[in-house]
Amino acid sequence: MTPVRGFFVGNVLGALDASLAIARSRDGGRYPPGTLLQLVPQEAMVKHRAGYNPPTNDWEFFSLDVSAQGTKILTRGVEDVVNRFGGNCAACHSAAETRFDFVCEHDHGCAPLPVGDDVLRAVQQADPRP
């Protein structure tokens, strides 16, 4: 996955350049289907085709178990996945300004996470996957 500021971007449908263009834009935009975003190894969100789930702007959230052997999906869904801090993913992301397509960053309108960027970087660097 490609790092952008403090998170990682991929696209499982091959549209990585389009996903990166939106991620790198300070003005926001609508991510293309297949976009995979990850802040920490234990969580991810994937953009589906239009109409998949309008209340979440067609995003699906994942709680993951990661190890040196790979990644296992623990929970996936649109409105009932809880992050490692005990927060509901969809509820937190719904606060993002519309132009940012349900994606949270420091200035996107979402509540801040209960840990600082230094802790997030440490969690990212501790990812056991090759």
What are the pLDDT digits (tens) for 39-94? 999 999 999 999 999 999 999 999 999 999 999 999 999 999 998 778 899 999 99
**Residue 42: what are its φ and ψ, rounded to 5°?**
-85, 0
Residue 64 phi/psi, 5-degree rounding, is: -125, 150
**pTM: predicted TM-score of the whole model, two decimal places:** 0.94
Question: How far apart are the C-alpha atoms of 23 and 29, rounded to whole Å?
Answer: 8
pLDDT per position as a tens digit, 115-129: 999 999 999 999 998
Residue with tokens 């790198």: 24
